[in-house]
Structure 1
């Protein structure tokens, strides 16, 4: 067969396959086939205007020009290493924080990604919920038993030093009364801002407050990739426009990312003006609808209006280059710290990086009464100390329901962590990573260090499994230093030291016992 005929035949096959595929996926993606709620049902609380058409703030609502800010920015504004270290010091010392996932998904008790077809942590489908249908969940966010003082007190009791609240997740719903959207808490039964009371309560406990804000927004009509990508391959995109406010079949046009960027800038201005967050924890900048330039503009603008705010690595697409050798050598590429989700650093060498591992207490970020796979308090403390031993912070999630109630398992574990902290908190704060100075330890546990003002060093050994013969093998100590004293935290009595062994006695019945080794000098790299 001649090449031209072969080409024509192949082209014909592709076109036929495309037509069949398009219609198949179009049917599979039909939200009516999977969504049980009825889109036309009357709302208990009518919106003042249709959220899908109530966005698009003009630029003058957020733009604050400064000498180092420009809409044409292509490079991230930088600061000196001294300035950076000063700004990051409280965060490095803090070690432990509380993450709070709270949104419409909490009242509906559905997965935060249900709009695009994920209904549990372990299943994905091609059937999601349209932006219009999703609005009916506004009625389920009552927050009638919301007690921000309790949440803040529990964070402090557990030894946490900062709290981060999801002020807007991927669903696009705002926990504050935004000037730029009606898809917010003002149109729920609660009817008013829930961010401010928590910020006030957290700071009253002496803790830092952060706001999570999703770059990705499945409800906003202008969020999406501004190119014509429709055709036979549409069904291959699991997270399709089909369920977003930006679906061209709903809006009749392609989305405009510049309008969405203006919306995002206006909202982060509101967050800064209203709550002056110590951290802004951005999420999911990897979508094609958000460009590197968008991230650079937003980063530089945020730095200009809040110079001391700490920003994670999910705004400027820096997560896309985590394997870059520059990152591993300590070059920040615009973000203040790296984030790892459900994994504490993924066992990488992060010695020269500021980083944070965020994790759930069970398998779910959101409230899910059927998810009973709770981590034990021992597991949580082991994750905390293992994370610290490699130089990271640990952000532990809690998941209130739509009424504002924390699950009993969240509360009990936070209190039990607090009991452990009463004895062992000296081994947590203002410590440094020990895993790189002590790469091999002969016990099941982890190690951190603290340099003391008197010119000595304390090595904290977190024991996950009590060693045989009640004897702790002392790790090989660099710099020819010696162990001058050893104690079990919670007991001031010195332990017997012989050579490279410490006789630690019987298991004191602590969840994770900590042995402190005092070295007779400064431990250097």
Structure 2
């Protein structure tokens, strides 16, 4: 999962009136995404391939075999898809809509306060909840009537309850909204990226989506407005919605998935246009080993999906991914399909060193509103590695370079209030490394971020760190005061 997702480009600043992404977001480093829909009741998708490899495979209908369980309803529209075969065997005669009844019943066991406390313990600073995914099901009692499926909501104000619980723990709260797809308005089967573009609803949907987003903003004042896929209206329509959000939440953040419908749409959705789009999507997925959205005219934060930049990016960005190969809960996932402790913690530190945030997803079960044990265990790993104080992580910025190697160990570097934070992968409870990118100043000192003791020494070939009695975890972190980059005067 290493690729460059594109260099900086000036955002459209008309709505904000300035270039700065709010400091709270850049300081946060870790956020929790929550995908929780009626698809979480059947909770099944194939697990044999990750999304980037699938989209690069050249298969005729890759999205029919999506590893994302939240795409369950779409996969059902392909009779021979793995999901359709599984559904006929496991849930014979049931419609997708019927799973909403199980979902609503499961809410009786939901404890939003417990979720919020667990999220805070990881060191996360913000939580983004899916309020409406592509199936159109709303997790709040929307007063904007769906003309095609009345009552397609939780009834209970899930969004409001989680917002209150999360903010009660001192975290920021954001909302995800699928602006580009709503299968109650357009249920065209999506097999390729070009099908997705062709499935962008028109008619009364742009007004419906705008009204719902404005309702979410008015009710919950979300700190993050996280749109998915595209925006169904034109750029003028988009500017008005974003401007309303900026006025309501001046320090709010929007992501980069607001690409509006344009005059080129007939060409884009023509047969030649669709072939070109699918070919480009395959090349991009192969290059990125994940999904990198195209830049829209308005955005604050880039959101590469299941992929990470290879180096420092000064443009605000967050890696979005699940703990396994799906965002929604997947019963088919076992330990082999989840991030290991080392992969999860080191990936997070790697992202921090490159100037990004990690928005890592949990997918609760739909039938009982519980976060599965395998996911809770990984939240605990983050809590052990980062913790609610986020010492040496929150509020940091990239150093001169993201990292290097030292005595056979991967090393990542970033700055915290003028100090250099050094993370050494797999270093054990005791040992020493010499970091050739650093030199010790005359009064250099070191602090081990965690249990144990450390000492620092300046050598001709670098800065030597030696430690003992540390924690034997995925990474050992040090705060070094008085260090400078190699080649600079001490």
TM-score using structure 2 length: 0.71
Alpha-carbon distance change, 471 to 520 in structure 1, aligned in 2, over 3 angstroms: closer
Tell me the equivalent position of 1:397: 361
Alpha-carbon distance change, 404 to 410 in structure 1, aligned in 2, over 3 angstroms: same
**1:163-211 Cα distance to aligned partner (Å, 9 max, x none):** 00000111111111111235899656x6312111100000000000000
Of 391, 412, 422, the residue aligned with 1:426 is 391
Tell me the equivalent position of 2:431: 470
Q: Highest CA radius of gyration, 1 or 2?
A: 1
Instruction: Name stretches of at least 5 consecutive residues in structure 1 with no aligned partner.
Output: 1-74, 225-233, 247-254, 324-330
2:109 counterpart of 1:166: no
**1:5-32 Cα distance to aligned partner (Å, 9 max, x none):** xxxxxxxxxxxxxxxxxxxxxxxxxxxx
Q: Residue 304 of structure 2: SS of its match in structure 1?
A: strand
Tell me the equivalent position of 1:49: none
Is residue 472–residue 504 contact of structure 1 (8 Å, CA) maintained in 2?
no
**1:9-56 Cα distance to aligned partner (Å, 9 max, x none):** xxxxxxxxxxxxxxxxxxxxxxxxxxxxxxxxxxxxxxxxxxxxxxxx
Q: CA deviation at 1:78?
A: 4.5
2:47 counterpart of 1:100: no
2:289 counterpart of 1:359: no
Partners of 1:218 and 1:354 lie apart in 2 by 28
Q: CA deviation at 1:217?
A: 2.5
Of 220, 223, 228, the residue aligned with 1:275 is 220
Superposed CA RMSD: 4.0
**1:145-166 Cα distance to aligned partner (Å, 9 max, x none):** 1111011000001111100000
Of 375, 383, 408, the residue aligned with 2:347 is 383
TM-score using structure 1 length: 0.67
Partners of 2:193 and 2:450 lie apart in 1 by 53
2:422 counterpart of 1:461: yes
Q: Residue 395 of structure 1: SS of its match in structure 2?
A: strand
Partners of 1:164 and 1:153 lie apart in 2 by 15
Partners of 1:365 and 1:511 lie apart in 2 by 24
Is residue 389–residue 446 contact of structure 1 (8 Å, CA) maintained in 2?
no
State the 4+ residue runs in structure 1 displaced beyond 4 angstroms.
Answer: 123-129, 182-188, 234-241, 289-294, 480-483, 520-524
Tell me the equivalent position of 1:490: 450
Tell me the equivalent position of 2:205: 260
Q: Residue 504 of structure 1: SS of its match in structure 2?
A: strand
1:31-430 matches, cutoff 5 A: 77-81=14-18, 84-85=19-20, 88-110=22-44, 111-117=69-75, 133-141=95-103, 142=105, 143-181=107-145, 191-221=155-185, 256-257=202-203, 259-285=204-230, 291-316=234-259, 333-345=297-309, 347=310, 349-372=311-334, 373-402=337-366, 403-422=368-387, 425-430=390-395
Partners of 1:90 and 1:181 lie apart in 2 by 35
Q: CA deviation at 1:424?
A: 8.3
Tell me the equivalent position of 1:515: 478
Q: Which moved more, 1:134-143 or 1:362-371?
A: 134-143
Q: CA deviation at 1:88?
A: 1.1
Partners of 1:421 and 1:470 lie apart in 2 by 21
Partners of 1:267 and 1:281 lie apart in 2 by 13
Aligned positions, number = 404
**1:81-112 Cα distance to aligned partner (Å, 9 max, x none):** 4xx43x51000111001000001111232422
Q: Which has the higher strand share?
A: 2
Q: Residue 303 of structure 2: SS of its match in structure 1?
A: strand
Q: Which moved more, 1:331-340 or 1:356-365?
A: 331-340
